């Protein structure tokens, strides 16, 4: 027998084509990581990866200079790629690198726990934005599965997860460490909202006007991609866009997993380990009237080592109606949408084979 280790399962619920709720059991990827062959239900045969163009402009954005000469570069990189790396971000290095409290450390310690300890430490709630420890975007029994284990929490607004056991109690400092990181990054993301507006010649409050400091949402997702026996056949996450305004990502252990679809090719994003990357979401595409587009992207797996990341999804309050901020004489390409309704639509149709969720907000 190839592997005698016990395989545990996540319970995943979905509504089938007849409107009936079904429950299926999804194997925990961490338990499969020692296999030498890839289970059939994880085979996706992803399209080939092409080398990143050597002359492509994907320079990091220096946050110290963001109010001056970096603005044009920010606009150019965003319009080309829909994502960008930031440097000199001003975050306290102890939030990231201090072994007693850094975000990377608590993430590592959680995923090192045995499955039963993880399950006893945090719940799973499919009816509450798929929060907790488990799987999401599973819609059928025959759907190819992503090579990922994940943990999701709602960090803002205050009290958003009251009554739900979505924050791990083990390690004991998990919540306090992540909440400190979220609090520090909110200021950074607010600064980016203003800079992005200026980068496309809009008033600096054009996007931030939708973000109330007390009611705006920050969802946290921690993704872990264990070593995979056949990275050529599997995907960490299938192609998608983000249902956010901004997504702030920090990766650990390894790089070279994130890929973006551009000019009909999949390209590996040159994103160094332990650096921050910002991804533009569908809500930003709507607010910018299509000038800043959410990129179609995916995550690849690796055979040598695991990789983890923390993603913060920054959104206006759920009940807020957002709409395109037009420049002079610009035609309206997108219509107004209520954030909650767009997210409901996004989760209903995902995953998809191409970028179709955003059509919900397009002007016919």
Spans in the chain with pLDDT lower than 50: 1, 100
Q: Give the whole-angstrom CA distance, residue 83 versus residue 88.
A: 17
Examine residue 190 and state whether it is found in any structural domain, yes or no. Answer: yes
Examine residue 186 and state whether it is found in any structural domain, yes or no. Answer: yes
**C-alpha angle with apex 151: 147 to 154, nearest 5 degrees?**
140
Q: Cα-flanking dihedrals φ and ψ of residue 338, to 5°? A: -85, 130
> What is the pLDDT at residue 1?
38
C-beta atoms surrounding 245 within 10 Å: 31
Task: Residue 46: name the closest of 38, 54, 55 by CA.
Answer: 38
Examine residue 200 and state whether it is found in any structural domain, yes or no. Answer: yes
Which stretches of the chain are assigned E, i.e. beta strand? 9-15, 21-27, 49-50, 61-62, 83-87, 124-125, 131-134, 149-156, 217-225, 237-240, 246-252, 258-262, 265-268, 276-280, 297-299, 307-315, 321-322, 337-338
> What is the pLDDT at residue 247?
98
- The DSSP call for residue 362 is B
Range of the domain at 334: 9-361
CB-based contacts of 337, cutoff 8 Å, min separation 6: 286, 321, 322, 323, 360, 361
* Helix (H) or strand (E) segment spanning residue 160: none
Residue 279: beta bridge partners?
83, 247
CB-based contacts of 95, cutoff 8 Å, min separation 6: 101, 102, 103, 177, 180, 181, 184
Q: Give the whole-angstrom CA distance, residue 262 versus residue 239.
A: 12
Task: Residue 300: name the closest of 239, 221, 249 by CA.
Answer: 239
Q: What is the pLDDT of residues 29-43, one digit of tens each?
A: 999 988 889 999 999
Examine residue 3 and state whether it is found in any structural domain, yes or no. Answer: no
Examine residue 1 and state whether it is found in any structural domain, yes or no. Answer: no
Q: Give the whole-angstrom CA distance, residue 124 versus residue 64.
A: 40
How are strands ordered across the β-sheet holding 217-225?
A: 61-62, 83-87, 276-280, 246-252, 307-315, 217-225, 149-156, 131-134, 124-125
Examine residue 219 and state whether it is found in any structural domain, yes or no. Answer: yes
Maximum pairwise Cα distance, the chain: 68
Task: Residue 110: name the closest of 152, 138, 155, 158 by CA.
Answer: 152
Q: Give the whole-angstrom CA distance, residue 213 versus residue 114.
A: 38
Overall pTM surpassing 0.85 (yes/no): yes
> What is the pLDDT at residue 19?
79
Examine residue 189 and state whether it is found in any structural domain, yes or no. Answer: yes
Task: Residue 313: name the closest of 251, 359, 249 by CA.
Answer: 249
Q: Give the whole-angstrom CA distance, residue 199 versus residue 204.
A: 9
Q: Would you call 179 exposed, middle or buried from its count of C-beta atoms within 10 A (0-12, 13-18, 19+)? A: middle
Cβ atoms of 220 and 166 within 8 Å: the answer is: no
Describe the crossing of helices 103-111 and 174-199 by its angle, rounded to 10 degrees: 130
Q: Give the whole-angstrom CA distance, residue 105 versus residue 109.
A: 6
What CATH number did the domain enclosing 40 receive?
Answer: 2.60.120.330
Describe the crossing of helices 70-81 and 174-199 by its angle, rounded to 10 degrees: 100
- The DSSP call for residue 52 is P
Examine residue 322 and state whether it is found in any structural domain, yes or no. Answer: yes
Q: What is the domain count for the chain?
A: 1
> What is the pLDDT at residue 95?
73
């Amino acid at each position: 027998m190839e592997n005698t280790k016990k395989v545990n399962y996540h319970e995943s619920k979905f509504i089938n084509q007849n409107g009936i709720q079904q429950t299926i059991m999804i194997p925990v990827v961490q338990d499969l990581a020692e296999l030498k062959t890839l289970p059939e239900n994880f085979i996706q045969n992803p399209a080939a990866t092409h080398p990143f163009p050597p002359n492509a402009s994907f320079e990091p954005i220096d946050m110290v200079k963001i109010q001056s000469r970096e603005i044009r570069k920010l606009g150019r990189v965003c319009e080309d790629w829909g994502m960008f790396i930031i440097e000199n971000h001003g975050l306290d290095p102890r939030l990231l690198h201090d072994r007693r409290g850094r975000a990377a450390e608590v993430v590592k310690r959680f995923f090192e726990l045995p499955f039963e300890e993880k399950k006893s430490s945090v719940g799973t709630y499919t009816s509450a934005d798929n929060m907790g420890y488990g799987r999401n975007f599973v819609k059928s029994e025959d759907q190819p599965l992503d090579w990922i284990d994940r943990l999701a929490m709602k960090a803002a607004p205050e009290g958003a997860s009251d009554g739900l056991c979505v924050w791990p109690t083990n390690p004991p400092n998990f919540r306090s460490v992540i909440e400190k990181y979220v609090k520090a990054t909110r200021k950074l993301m607010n600064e980016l909202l203003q800079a992005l507006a200026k980068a496309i010649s809009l008033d600096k409050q054009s996007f931030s006007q939708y973000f109330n400091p007390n009611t705006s949402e920050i969802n946290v997702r921690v993704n872990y991609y264990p070593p995979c026996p056949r990275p050529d056949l599997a995907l960490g996450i299938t192609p998608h866009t983000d249902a956010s305004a901004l997504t702030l990502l920090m990766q650990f252990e390894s790089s070279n997993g994130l890929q973006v679809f551009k000019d009909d090719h999949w390209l590996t994003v040159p994103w160094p380990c332990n650096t921050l990357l910002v991804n533009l979401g569908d809500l930003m595409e709507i607010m910018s009237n299509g000038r800043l587009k959410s990129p179609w992207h995916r995550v690849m797996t690796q055979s040598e080592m695991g990789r983890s990341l923390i993603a913060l999804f920054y959104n206006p309050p759920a009940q807020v109606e957002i709409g395109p901020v037009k420049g002079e004489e610009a035609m309206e390409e997108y219509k107004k949408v209520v954030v909650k309704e767009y997210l409901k639509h996004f989760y209903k149709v995902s995953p998809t084979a191409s970028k179709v969720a955003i059509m919900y907000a397009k002007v016919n």
